[in-house]
Amino acid sequence: MNDTKARQYAHLSQQLKALQANLAQTSRQMETMSRQCNEHLVGQLGKVHAAWFIGGNRCFEEEMLGKR
């Protein structure tokens, strides 16, 4: 095996090691993401805010128009 080939194989092995580390990190990030997405964050926030808006509307309607 000549010198160039040995150098290329060494480079390739280094690159593959880095790739493996990167893919492990990717899989960790994906796990975090799926855990976060399973909590229905946006739906939860939407429901809470809708409840606040409706409650506030009722409250201030009575404040402004007097108790009916």
Partner 1 sequence: MENPYEQVHQSILSRIVNNVERLNESVITLNQELQHINARNKNLQIMGQMCENYHKSVQFNMSATNNKREPL
Alpha carbons 57 and 31: distance in angstroms, whole number: 40
> What's the closest the beta carbon of residue 3 comes to partner 1, in angstroms?
12
> What's the closest the beta carbon of residue 11 comes to partner 1, in angstroms?
6
What's the CA dihedral at 43, 49, 52, 57 to 10 degrees? Answer: -110
CB atoms within 10 A of CB 12: 10
Question: Which residues contact partner 1 (rule: CB under 8 A)?
Answer: 4-5, 8-9, 11-12, 15-16, 18-19, 22-23, 25-26, 29-30, 32-33, 36-37, 39, 41-42, 44-45, 48-49, 51-52, 54, 58
